[in-house]
Copies of this chain bind each other. A is one copy, B any other.
Amino acid sequence: MRPSGRLPDALRQISLEPGFSKYAEGSCLAKFGDTHVLCTASVDERVPPFLRNTGLGWVTAEYGMLPRSTGSRTDREAAKGRQSGRTQEIQRLIGRSLRAVTNRSGMGETQIKVDCDVIQADGGTRTAAITGSYVALYLAFKHLVEIGKLKSIPMTDSVAGISAGLYKGVAVLDLDYDEDSTAQADTNFVLTGTGGIVEVQGTAEDKPFSQDQFMELLQLAQKGVAELTQIQKAALGL
């Protein structure tokens, strides 16, 4: 039934490649099928002004797509001189998701900037970005522990993102572009490794959906994140 032949509750082939970047303190190339997102975590000694002298750190994220990561070329945001609303929405989501599992008082007044750059897009770039960013952020913290800047990794849980939607009336997990572009409903869930809800974003593309349908999507997402959590642990050698 699905264009890819996957079962409704099947993830795409997932790959998390830690340490992809030569320079970044933490990095991960996250692949969800043909969606490839490079996540790098960069340590910055300066926190934003509103946190100075608070003893708290900050984690923030930026998101971008290479112009030809998509089926037809998208204009370069740097050339247009502004980031789209979609870009800003996604990067805010990634930042909130990472902060929800970070113990900011355990970071000291340090900032981590996570860059998520989409090398190739086939649907679900924001969920791949969140899933890979967790790995990159963990590795950056691990680096700070190794060089003696931090005593322990200031994270309270792992976090991953996955989409679920109604495609031809059926609830399916981890939509690719073909499904996404025709789905009746599209939801993105950000859940922790222990099953807590961090972010929920659901949109009825065409007609409203019911509470029961929504619950079905949430359960698919919980199954998907459980699998992603195992892949994250394996990538980090935990």
Interface size of A in residues (CB-CB distance below 8 Å): 70
Given A83-B79, A115-B66: A208 touches B204 (CB 8 Å cut-off): no
Which residues from chain B contact A40 at a C-beta distance below 8 Å? 66-68
A208–B200 Cα distance when bound, in Å, is: 11
Cβ of A34 within 8 Å of any chain B Cβ, yes or no, is yes
Which residues from chain B contact A122 at a C-beta distance below 8 Å? 22
Interface of A is mostly: mixed
**Are A76 and B92 in contact (CB-based, < 8 A)?**
no
A210–B22 Cα distance when bound, in Å, is: 37
Cβ of A49 within 8 Å of any chain B Cβ, yes or no, is no
Tell me the minimal C-beta distance from A179 to chain B in angstroms. Answer: 17
- Residues of chain A whose beta carbon lies under 8 Å from any beta carbon of chain B: 21-24, 27, 34, 38, 40, 42, 44, 62, 64, 66-73, 76-79, 81-89, 91-92, 96, 100, 113, 115, 117, 119-120, 122, 156-157, 187, 191-192, 194-204, 206-211, 213-215, 218, 222
A-B contact pairs, 19 of them (CB 8 A): A23-B72, A38-B66, A40-B66, A64-B78, A66-B117, A67-B117, A77-B78, A79-B83, A82-B82, A89-B92, A119-B119, A187-B200, A191-B208, A194-B208, A195-B210, A197-B213, A198-B203, A199-B203, A215-B215
